[in-house]
Amino acid sequence: MKKRPYFDRTIVACNYKPPIDHLVLALKFGHRLGLAKAFAKELRNQISYMSQEALPDLICPIPLGAQRLAARGFNQSLEIARPLGNDLGIPVRYNLLLRLRDTLQQSSLHPDARHKNVKNAFTVNPEMCSLIRGRHVAIVDDVITTGTTLNEAAKVLKRFGANKVTNFVFARTIWL
């Protein structure tokens, strides 16, 4: 990123390399939903280094577009967020962020095209605006590569009044 991101912090459990990459793909495309609990546990281990005061007020998974959700049958970010929120005692608001339109898969795009792909793709659910004003919101996702999707989501949350946005991500792609 060439400029400061909208999110304030990112906590990652591990690097996206073998065998982790195969596990992420098994969850996402192999419907191995049991892996989501293991991913949440690994994330929880990293989050445990945060002070209790630094923990977010609520957790929000990155939403999928309607077509991708229908094709996959589940949102892997939500599947990770549920047990994570339960372990941390933090409410998970699965519909806090809404995806306004289907986008191409970020992993299929050159890093320069990713920003355009997700620009204006998210909004806050009008029924939940009051939940985020002045609050610390955590966004959960399975993988971070360039941070573009998480940054766009954080930008929307901040625009709607979030005081702080932290990313909780299972795996991070390593750029060489």
Over residues 124-143, mean pLDDT: 96
Instruction: Compute the radius of gyration of the chain from its Cα atoms.
Output: 15
- Give the pLDDT band of residue 23 (cuts 50, 70, 90): very high
**Residue 122 bridge partners (DSSP):** 99
Residue 58 CB neighbours (<10 A): 18
Give the strand pairing for 9-15 and 164-172. Answer: parallel
As a whole number of angstroms, the distance between CA 77 and CA 138 comes to 12
* pLDDT above 70 (res 104): no
CATH topology (fold) of 9-103+114-172: Rossmann fold (3.40.50)
pLDDT at 31: 94
- Give the pLDDT band of residue 157 (cuts 50, 70, 90): very high
pTM assigned to the model: 0.92
- Cis ω on the peptide bond leading into residue 5 (within 30° of 0)? no
Q: Mean pLDDT score of the chain, rounded to an integer?
A: 91
As a whole number of angstroms, the distance between CA 164 and CA 11 comes to 14
pLDDT at 51: 85
CA 176 to centroid of chain Cα atoms: 23
As a whole number of angstroms, the distance between CA 123 and CA 97 comes to 6
Over residues 68-74, mean pLDDT: 93
As a whole number of angstroms, the distance between CA 164 and CA 135 comes to 7
